[in-house]
Amino acid sequence: MIQPIYIIVIALGGAFLLPLFGESARRTANVLFLAALAFIALISGEWLYRFLFIDDTPHQIFTAGLKPPLSINLLMGKEEALFLFPIHILALLGGLYALSHLDEMGIKSKALFLTLVLGLSGLIMTRDIFNLFIFLEITSISSYALIGMDTRLKSLSAGFKYAVIGSISSTFLLLGIIFLYSASSTLNLDVMISALSGAARTPLLSVAIFLVFFTFFIEMKQFPVNGWALDVYEGTNPGVTAMIAAGSTGALFFAVYKLLPLFGSGLMMTLAVSGITTFVVSNLIGLKQRAATRLLGYSSIAQMGLLLAILAIGNMTRMDRQTLYFIIGALFFNHFIAKGALYWLAGIVGRDSIDEWKVLKGRTWHKILFGLLLLSLAGFPPFPGFWGKWSLVMNLADAKMFVWIAFILLGSLLEVVYLMRWFGIAVKGDVTADESTSEWKEISGSYGGYLDEDGPAGGYSDEGAGGGQADRGDAAGAAGATAERSPLRESSAAMEIPPWVFALASIGLGYIFSTKLTGPMPAFLPLVAAAVLFALDWLPVKAKGLVALAMIAWYAYRVIPGSEGLPLFFNALFLGGGFVLLMGMLFRTARSTGLFPLTVLMIGSMSLLATTQSMLIFFFAWELMTVSSYLLIIRGRLSRNAALVYIVFSQAGAFSMLAGFAAAHSAASLAAGVSGAAGAVSGGAGVSGAATASGISGAAGISAAGAAAGAAGLSNPSVSPAWALSELSHAGIYSSIVFILVSIGFLIKTASFGLHIWAPGAYAESEDDVSPLISAVLSKAGILGFLALFLYMGLNNPPHIGSLSLSAVIGWIGVLTALFATIFAVFQEDAKKLLAYSSVGQVGYIVLAAAMMSHLGWVAALWHSVLHLLFKGLLFLAIAGVVYRTGTRNMYRMGGLIKRMPFSFVSVLIGIIALAGVPPLAGFGSKWLIYEALIEKGWYLQAAVAFFASTIAFLYCYRLIHSIFLGMPKPRYKNIKEAPAWLLIPQYILVLTIFGLSAFPLTLLKRLSAIVSPIIPATLNWHGFTAVSSLGYWNGTAVMIVVMAIFIIMLLYLLLFTAKPQKVKPFNIVYAAERPESPETTHYAYNFFTPYGRAMGPILKPLAKRFWSAVSEWSHSIAASVRHIYTGDGQTYALYIFIVGVLIYFISAGGR
C-alpha cells in the first residue's frame, strides 16, 4: 500500500516542480503533470480496492510521528477513499481535457491545478479542523487563481466575486475555529467532537459552531447566498468549472459530512430546510435560464442542496447508515459524473445559450452523449440517480416525511422540464411555435401571451405546402443534416474521451447500485438488447429491423409460455402488437440510427412491466418505457415541443405514482412491523446488508405480501404469486391518497380528460411509422396499471372519500375522456391528430370498462384493449403510408386516393368499421360488452354518455375515409403510388386478425373471461358460439355469416342485374351554368364539420390547454422574478451573507 501522504507529496511536489520547466519543455511538463495526476488516482484507487474487497479498517496517518492533539492527522477510510478516487479520476480526466486550455494560460496553471487537487484531497482526508481551514483555503486560492488566469472579463468578474465571498466566509470559519479551540482546547476533530458532546452550550460555543456551520452553508452554495457560485459556473472555462462544480463541491460535501456531529440537532433542521429550499428554488429558476453553463450551475446547486438535506434528514431520523450511504452515494455520484461530463461537453460545444446548442444537429455521437448525461442528471433509469431517488423516497415515507417527498418530487420535475427542453433544442434545432402543432407551447420556450387559441377547427398552418414526399422519408436522415453542420470548437480526442468515460461509468454505476437494491437482475435485459442493436448500427436498415424482430420473437418465446393470467395477456399484447407494428418500420431506407434500439427498449420495458413482481422494478420499467418512448417521439421532424410536453407530463405522473408507492410502502412496512414480518417487507427497499447478500429479500417481501393479500380475501390464482403492485393492498389508512396518487400516474399515461394534452401532439408528431406503436401499444401500459391497481386496491373495498367511490370517479373520467376526445377528433384537419384524439377517446372507454370492477367490465376492457391495438395500429399504419406518399397530414389536401392506393383504402375501411363498432366486425363486441357491463353495473348515465360519444365517432370515421380516399383526386397526386409493401404487410396481418376475431370472437373472449373469472366471479357464459350475459347474448360468428351472406348477395345482384356501369372521368359532370375548374371545388373537405362546430361551440373551448398554459406561465413568471435576487453585484451577494447569516442564527437559535 502506498501511504496516502504521498497524494499530498506528489501534488505539492509536482506543483513546485512544474514551474521549473520553461514553456520550451512543455511536452515533458505535460507528461509529468498527467503522470502526477495518474499516480495520485492510482494511490486512492488502490486504497479503495483494499477497503472494498480486502479489509475496511481505516488507516490513520500522523504527521511528525506524534499522536493527536500534538500532530496533524489524516484519515484514509472507506468513505474517504470512496470520495477521493472519483475526485482523482475527475482530476486526471479533467487535466487531460483542460490541457489545451492550461497550455494557453501557461505552465503555472498546471501547478495551480495540482494544488487544487491537493486542497481537495486534504479537505477529504484531514481530521484536524484547522487543517480543514488550510485545505479549504488552498482549494479556494488555487481556484481563484485558475479562474483569474483566464483574462476574459466574465471570468475575471466571476473570480473576483468568488474571492470576496470566499474571504468573508473564511473569516467566519477562522473565528469559529478559534472559539472552538478555546472551548475544547484541541483542533483535532474527533477529540473536539467528543469533548464538546457533553459540554454545555455556552453562547460563545454556539456562536462558534454556528460560524463554522455558516461557512459551509456559503461554501455549499445554499439559497440565497449562492449568486457568486452561479457567476463562477457561468463565467469560467468549462474545464475548470468541471473541477469546481463536481470536484470542489464533492470535497466540501465530505467536509460537511465530517463536521456534522459538531453541528448538533438544531442546525440539522436548518440544513434540511435550506437544502430543500435550495433544491426547489434553484430548479424553479432554472426554468428561465438560457445560458448553458449557468443552467448547469443552477442544477448543480440544486443537487447539492438536495444532498445536504438528505444528509441532515438522515441524521435527524437516525436513518440506517447503510441506507443513508446508499442514497447519498447514488445521488452524489450520479450528479458528480453527469455534471462533470456536461461541463466538459459544454466546453466542446462552446456555445453560451442553450438555443445555440442546435449545432449538435447531425452530430449523432454528441447527441447520444448529451442525451445520456442529461437523462442521468434528471434521474432516469438505469442511472444511479434513479435508484437513489427511489430509495430516498421510500425511506422518507417510512419516516412519514411526506411533505419533504412532495417538495423533492416537485423540484425534480422542474429539473426535468429545463433539462429536457434543452435536450430538445440540441437534438431538434429550431422549431418555431407556429410550425409545431404542440398543445402546450408556453412550456416549450415561447413565453408570454396566451396560446394562440386555435379552436379545434382553427387554421393550422400549411406545413405540407412545399414538403414533397422526398423530405418525409426519414427525419433522422443524417445526410441532410450533415450539410448544415456548423463547426464546434476545435476539440481533440483529449477533450472528447473524458465525457464518454464518465457517461459509461454512470451506466456501470447504475447497474452496481441497482444490484444493491434488487440483487442481480434480469431487468437490464431490455437495455442489453438495445445496446446490442445499437452496436449493430452499421448493418443496413432492413437487417437491423429483422434483428429487432427476431429479438422480440425470441423474448416472447422465452416469456410467454411461462406466464398466465393478466401478465400473459399484457405480454402477448405488448410483444405481439409490438412485433407486428415494428414490421412497418422495415419500409425505411435511411439509416435510422437509434430507432430500433429504442423501439426494442420500449417494448422490452413494457413486457417487464407486465411480468415483474416487484414495485421497484415496476417503476423502473415504467420509467424506462417513458424515456424510450420519449426518445422515439422526439425523432419526429417537428416533435420537439410535443416530446417535451410528453416527458413533462409523464414524469409528473411517474412522480405522483412514486409518491403513492411511497405512502403505500410506509403503511405496508408499518403493518408488517405489527405482524412481526418487518424484516421481509421493509428489507425489500432498504439496503440492509442481508438484502444485498441474499438478493432475494425483495422476493421474500413480495411473497409475504402475497400471502397477506390472500389472507385478506384477495385470492387471485391467475396472478400468482403476486403482481407488481401487490404491496398497495396494504395501504391501510393511506389507501385513498395512495389510490389517487397512483391513479394520476395512470390517468396521465392513458391521456385522460384534463391530463390529455400531451397525447395529440405526441401521437401525431412522432414519426409516421412510430405513431402506431406509441398510440396503439404504449397507451395500454396505463390500462395495465389501472388493472393492477384495481386488483389490489379496488375490487373488494374501493377507496372512498366520504361517500364518493374513487373507482366511480375514474369511471367518470374515462367516459368524459371518451366523449371530449371524440368530439375534438371530429374537428381535426390533420389525419394523425384525428387518430390521436380518437385514440385518447378509445382508451377512455377502456378506462371506463376497467373502473367498473365487474367481470363483464374487465372482459370488456381486455377485449377492447386488443381491438383498439388492432384497429388503431392498422389506421395509423395506413395513414403512415398515405402521408409518406402525399407528404402532408392535412386531410383536405388529399382526396380521391382510392384509385391510387386501394390497399390502404381497404385498410382504413376495415379500421373504421372496427372502430365504429358496427357489425360484423369485432368492434361491435367491444360495444356490446361495455354497454352490457354498464347496464349490469347500473351506471346508466355513463352508458348514455358513452353511447353519445360512440355516435359522434361515426363523424370522424366518415371524415377519415371521405376526405382522404373519396371525391376527386387532386392533380398533384395523380401519379401517386400505393404505400410501400412493408407498411402494407403489417396492415394486412392486422386486417386478417380483425376478421378472425370477428368471425370467431369466442376463441379470445373465452380466454379473457378465464383470465378475469378467478379474480371476479364470472357473469358471462357460453352456448356454442354465443356469449351470454345476464342481459343478452352475442354470437359474432352468426352475425358474420349473416352479414357476409347479405354482402355477397348484394354484390352478386349488382354485378349480374344492374346495367353495365359507365366509367366517368373526374370532371365529367356538367352543372347548370358552370363546370368546376379544380377538384377542390367538388370535393369539400376543409373545415368539414363547421355546422357541428358551431353547435357545440361552448364545449369546444380548449380549457385544459388554457389551464396548463397558465400553470406553465405562472411558474416561469415566478422564476423570472425570483432570479432577480442574483443582481450580479458582488456587494449585494456579500450583503445577503450577512442578512441570511443573522436570520438563520436567530431562527435556529445557534444550534441549540
CB 1034 within 8 A of CB 925: yes
801 - beta bridge partners? Answer: 804
Among residues 20 and 204, whose Cβ is nearest to another protein?
A: 204
What is the spatial distance between Cα 199 and Cα 619, in angstroms, rounded to a whole number? 48
Task: Please count the residues of this chain forming the interface with another protein, following the rule CB under 8 A.
Answer: 50
Query: Which residue type sits at 202?
Result: T
Candidates 1044, 1135, 1142, 1143; binder of another protein (CB under 8 A) is 1135
Query: Shortest distance, CB of residue 175 to another protein, whole angstroms?
Result: 6
Cβ(133)–Cβ(534) below 8 Å: no
Nearer to another protein, 185 or 1081 (CB): 185
Of 56, 57, 154, 462, the one binding another protein by CB under 8 A: 154
Residues 6 or more apart whose CB falls under 8 angstroms from that of 108 comprise 18, 19, 149
What is the Cα 607 distance to its own chain's centre? 18
- State whether residue 969 is helix, strand or coil: coil
Q: At what angle do helices 595-611 and 541-559 cross, to 10 degrees?
A: 10
Q: Is 490 exposed, middle or buried (0-12, 13-18, 19+ CB in 10 A)?
A: exposed
Decide: 672 and 680 in contact? Cβ < 8 Å.
yes
Min dist. Cβ of residue 1150 to another protein (A) = 17
Which of 44, 126, 274, 289 contacts another protein by CB under 8 A? 289
CB of 1125 to another protein, least distance (A): 9
DSSP code, position 436: S
Which helix (H) or strand (E) covers residue 59, if one does?
Answer: strand 59-62
In whole angstroms, how close is the CB of 134 to another protein at the nearest point?
A: 7
> Least separation, in Å, of the C-beta of 1110 and another protein?
24
Q: How far apart are CA 995 and CA 1003, in angstroms?
A: 13
Is 1143 among the residues that bind another protein (CB under 8 A)? no
Cβ closer to another protein: 804 or 1135?
1135
Q: How far is the CB of 803 from another protein (least distance, A)?
A: 51
Q: Toward another protein, which CB reaches closer, 137 or 1080?
A: 137
Q: For another protein, which stretch binds (CB under 8 A), given 144-152, 537-545, 884-892, 983-991? A: 144-152
Residue whose C-alpha cell reads 397507451 in the numeric block? 779
**Do 884 and 584 touch, CB atoms closer than 8 A?**
no
* Cα–Cα distance measured from residue 398 to residue 404, given in angstroms and rounded to the nearest whole number: 12
- Distance in Å, CB of 169 to another protein, minimum: 11
Other Cβ atoms within 10 Å of 446 Cβ, number = 16
Part in contact with another protein (CB under 8 A); list of ranges 167-175, 720-728, 859-867, 936-944: 167-175
Among 3, 60, 63, 157, binds another protein (CB under 8 A): 157
x/- contact string, 193-232, with another protein (CB under 8 A)?
----------------------------------x--xx-
- Can you tell me which of 68, 86, 122, 166 binds another protein, judged by CB under 8 A? 166
List 92, 117, 120, 187, residue binding another protein (CB under 8 A)? 187
Is the Cβ of residue 70 or residue 465 nearer to another protein in the bound state? 70
Kindly give the pairing relationship between strand 804-805 and strand 800-801: antiparallel
Should residue 601 be labelled a site residue for another protein when binding is judged by CB under 8 A? no
Candidates 119, 235, 445, 577; binder of another protein (CB under 8 A) is 235
| x/- map, 112-131, another protein, by CB under 8 A | ------------------x-
Containing H/E element for 801? strand 800-801
Closer CB to another protein, 151 or 975, in the complex: 151
Decide: is 284 part of the binding site for another protein (CB under 8 A): no
Q: How far apart are CA 541 and CA 549, in angstroms?
A: 12
Q: Do the beta carbons of residue 998 and residue 921 sit within 8 Å?
A: yes
**How far is it, in rounded angstroms, from Cα 643 to Cα 440?**
11
Q: Is the peptide bond before 721 cis (omega within 30 degrees of 0)?
A: yes
Helix (H, G, I), strand (E, B) or coil at 802: coil
Nearer to another protein, 89 or 168 (CB): 168
Nearer to another protein, 223 or 513 (CB): 223
Site membership for another protein, residue 164 (CB under 8 A): yes
> Which residue's CB is nearer to another protein, number 69 or number 695?
69
User: What does the per-residue mask of binding to another protein show for 290-309, with x meaning CB under 8 A?
Assistant: ----x---------------
Residue 202 or 589 with smaller CB distance to another protein: 202
Of 181, 511, 995, 1092, the one binding another protein (CB under 8 A) is: 181
> Looking at 214-291, which runs of residues are DSSP E strands?
none
Cβ-contact 794, 1015 below 8 angstroms: no
Placement of cell 415541443 in the chain: 641
Using the rule CB under 8 A, is 158 a contact of another protein?
Answer: yes
Interface with another protein includes 1018 (CB under 8 A)? no
We find the least distance from the C-beta atom of residue 70 to another protein, in angstroms, to be 10
Phi and psi angles of residue 887, each rounded to the nearest 5 degrees, phi first = 75, 15
| 329 scored as a contact of another protein (CB under 8 A) | no
| Residue among 342 and 1137 whose Cβ is closer to another protein | 1137
Q: With respect to another protein, which residue has the nearer C-beta, 280 or 860?
A: 280
Minimum separation from the CB atom of position 138 to another protein (A): 9
Question: What is the C-alpha separation between 1130 and 1142, in angstroms, rounded?
Answer: 19
Contact of 570 with 780, CB cutoff 8 Å: yes
Q: Distance between CA atoms of 293 and 468, rounded to whole angstroms?
A: 40
> What does the block give as the cell for 995?
376478421
- Over the window 715 to 754, marking each residue x when it contacts another protein by CB under 8 A and - when it does not, the resulting string is ----------------------------------------
Does 1118 contact another protein by CB under 8 A?
Answer: no
Beta strand 1021-1023 with 1026-1028 is: antiparallel
Our finding on whether 240 is near another protein (CB under 8 A) is no
State the nearest-atom distance from the C-beta of 433 to another protein, in Å: 24
**Is 1004 near another protein (CB under 8 A)?**
no
For residues 287 and 418, the answer to whether their CB atoms sit within 8 Å is: yes
Q: Which of 384, 745, 919, 1130 binds another protein (CB under 8 A)?
A: 1130
CA-to-CA dists, residue 1067 to 629, 892, 895, 1089, angstroms: 46, 19, 14, 25
Q: Which of 28, 57, 182, 675 is the binder for another protein (CB under 8 A)?
A: 182
90 binds another protein (CB under 8 A): no
- Which of 39, 62, 160, 954 is the binder for another protein (CB under 8 A)? 160
Would you say 163 or 738 has its CB closer to another protein? 163
Buried b (16+ CB within 10 A) or exposed e, 646-682: bbbbbbbbbbbbbbbbbbbbbbbbbbbeeeebebbbb
Q: Is 170 one of the binding residues for another protein (CB under 8 A)?
A: yes
* 1138 binding another protein? (CB under 8 A): yes
151 binds another protein (CB under 8 A): yes
Q: ω into residue 69 within 30 of 0, thus cis?
A: yes
Q: How far apart are CA 131 and CA 137, in angstroms?
A: 9
Burial readout 11-27 (b: 16 or more C-beta within 10 A, e: otherwise) = bbebbebbeebeeeeee
Note whether 141 binds another protein by CB under 8 A: yes
Judged by CB under 8 A, which of 57, 796, 951, 1127 binds another protein? 1127
From residue 837, alpha-carbon distances to 139, 252, 661, 777 in Å are 58, 52, 30, 15
Q: Which residues bind another protein (CB under 8 A)?
A: 130, 134, 137, 140-141, 144-145, 148, 151, 153-154, 156-160, 163-164, 166-168, 170-171, 174-175, 177-179, 181-182, 187, 227, 230-231, 234-235, 288-289, 294, 1123-1124, 1126-1131, 1134-1135, 1138
